[in-house]
Structure 1
Amino acid sequence: MEHFNHHSGDHLALDSAKIYFEVHGDSTDPPLLFLHGGLGTLRDFNDVLPRLAKRFRVIGIDSRGHGKSTLGTAAMNYQRLALDAAGVLRHLGVERCSVVGFSDGGITALRMAAQADMRVERLVAIGTDKMLKPDDPVRKLLAGVTAESWTKKFPETVALYNALNPQPDFKGLVDAIVPMWLDDSPSGYPGDCVRQISCPLLAIRGDEDHLVSRASVFELVEQVKGAKLLNIPFAGHEAHKDQAEAVMASVNRFLE
């Protein structure tokens, strides 16, 4: 399986932004879409791609403003990200696909799966909340994120962003994404709309995830008929990186 590389892809103009995407694999293989987390890139899934037991036509998207995608002038919200992903799939002629989403990508994927016209076959949501409650202590943590604090904690991700982005403005990206994390409007988290999800769902949480609680993931799977929950010990928010082998054993069975 090839890796996402930020060299072999293309851009699609969508609502004032140019969205970067890559496709690897045979066009006859079933499509599998990967949606990364906040302030990440499609490369964040490169650890798991070689562990896929089945052959897929893998599709990776850099969310608007991230990686090689430009930010544009439209408001950043989960609804917009879902529309971007749907636009790329339409452009590629993909009518139905399975999705693996992490964090913001998982929230985006939940929104997609809750809408019948998005036609999600199967959904793996890693480190994903369906909503951010008003009293959730994570709200204060997210509200305090700045370009300076992120750069100090994760300098390598900012260096990659500056090297890749055609219109680099990391402060502008952070100023756009923090309100999305705190968005309580209908354009934000899917909330109880997840009850409308009819495709199979596998929700994965690292047991040491400081951003997504056990209770919130349990609530998610309780609201989606037939959903499965995988809680991974000795893993944090990025469970697919911290315990890739354990995570992919279940993901491969789920995607069979």
Structure 2
Amino acid sequence: MTTSDLSEPSATGAACQQCSTIEVCGAAISFSVLGEVTAPPLVVLHGGIGCADDCADLASGLETQFRVIRVDSRGHGRSTLGDAELTYQRLEKDVLAVLRHLEMDCTSIIGFSDGGIVGYRLMVSNEINVKKLVTIGADVELEPDAPVRRILEQVTGKSWREKFPASYETYRRLNPEPDFDRLVKCAVKMWLDSTATGFPDKIENLPGADVLVIRGDRDHLFSRQAAVDLVNRIDHCSFANIPLAGHEAHKEQPAIVERCVLEFLCS
């Protein structure tokens, strides 16, 4: 494992941002750290075909109270894809590698969409102590007959570029080894993975788990019923159904989501 680091002092000199890359299983995984070194750690994980910058506004509201670690998922943002198969299990192991590099064995996690699924996997695995977990627009399973499966099956690099041109341009600007069509193809396979490398299992076996599930009321990828069913499966689980928001509730209703997250993490 090799690393490269760039540290940037804050305006006050109290906090320090470290932009780093570590080599993990054939890929360069990019992450950044911002906040007081002595503050409790908080990992922020973005969604599919996105990047760590997508959660910048949410993270910035937490940096005064937490040491915020933002990770670009393998193949996304500033991280390279490498040759290993892209799976939720692989993303989980990449995050673990970052945390071990930072010598952290206990953290809270915020995960949006794919990042939330990785968060569930990290909590279930017990490889680290996940103190609290916040997920946004993230389910723990994909049923064979779920309508969202048909939506995901039809996603291609071309369709994504046409529907989300800004997302594509950000990827092209940031990624050191851009191959967008390959990334999307790998991501779709990951989204549809029904094996042990995909969605987490044994989600009910989380003694002492402290989870906040957030969903936008107009989220077409994570139904209200699926969210309620999930919340009922987890002990000590809170639920926030955000009005007038879709899948990206943290962007569409940032003030409401930030308040929910802060109150949950600091309680």
TM-score range, shorter chain: over 0.9
| SS in structure 2 at match of 1:46 | helix
Q: 2:24, 2:63 → 1: CA distance?
A: 33
For residue 194 of structure 1, the aligned residue among 203, 211, 214 is 203
State whether residues 47 and 113 of structure 2, in contact with CA within 8 Å, keep that contact through their aligned partners in structure 1. Answer: yes
State whether residues 115 and 196 of structure 1, in contact with CA within 8 Å, keep that contact through their aligned partners in structure 2. Answer: no
Q: 1:196, 1:116 → 2: CA distance?
A: 11
- How far is the alpha carbon of 1:40 from its aligned partner? 0.4
Structure 1 runs of 4+ with >4 Å offset: none
* Deviations, residues 226-255 of structure 1 (Å, cap 9, x unaligned): 101110110000001111111111111101
Counterpart of 1:19 in structure 2: which amino acid? I
Counterpart of 1:224 in structure 2: which amino acid? I
Q: What is the correspondence of 1:39-54 to structure 2 with a 5 Å cutoff?
A: 39-52=49-62
Counterpart of 2:197 in structure 1: which amino acid? S
Counterpart of 2:36 in structure 1: which amino acid? D
Q: How many residues align?
A: 250
Partner of 1:12: 22
Scaled by the length of structure 2, what TM-score is found? Answer: 0.91
1:103 matched to 2:103? The reply is no
Q: 1:53, 1:166 → 2: CA distance?
A: 27
Task: Report % sequence identity.
Answer: 46
Q: 1:60, 1:168 → 2: CA distance?
A: 20
Partner of 1:89: 99
Partner of 1:21: 31
- How far is the alpha carbon of 1:154 from its aligned partner? 0.7
Partner of 1:169: 179
Q: 1:125, 1:51 → 2: CA distance?
A: 17
Larger relative CO (CA 8 A, sep 6+): 1 or 2?
Answer: 1
For residue 169 of structure 2, the aligned residue among 159, 163, 175 is 159
- How far is the alpha carbon of 1:52 from its aligned partner? 2.8
State whether residues 35 and 63 of structure 2, in contact with CA within 8 Å, keep that contact through their aligned partners in structure 1. Answer: no
Gaps of 5+ in 1: none
- How far is the alpha carbon of 1:159 from its aligned partner? 0.9
- How far is the alpha carbon of 1:218 from its aligned partner? 1.2
Counterpart of 1:46 in structure 2: which amino acid? A
For residue 193 of structure 2, the aligned residue among 172, 183, 187 is 183
Q: Which is richer in strand?
A: 2
Scaled by the length of structure 1, what TM-score is found? Answer: 0.95
Two-structure CA RMSD over aligned residues (Å): 1.4
Q: 1:156, 1:117 → 2: CA distance?
A: 36
- How far is the alpha carbon of 1:206 from its aligned partner? 0.3
- How far is the alpha carbon of 1:54 from its aligned partner? 5.2
1:119 matched to 2:133? The reply is no
Q: What is the correspondence of 1:202-217 to structure 2 with a 5 Å cutoff?
A: 202-217=212-227
Q: 1:189, 1:182 → 2: CA distance?
A: 9
Partner of 2:243: 233
State whether residues 128 and 212 of structure 1, in contact with CA within 8 Å, keep that contact through their aligned partners in structure 2. Answer: yes
| SS in structure 2 at match of 1:47 | helix
- How far is the alpha carbon of 1:53 from its aligned partner? 8.2
Q: 1:52, 1:72 → 2: CA distance?
A: 32
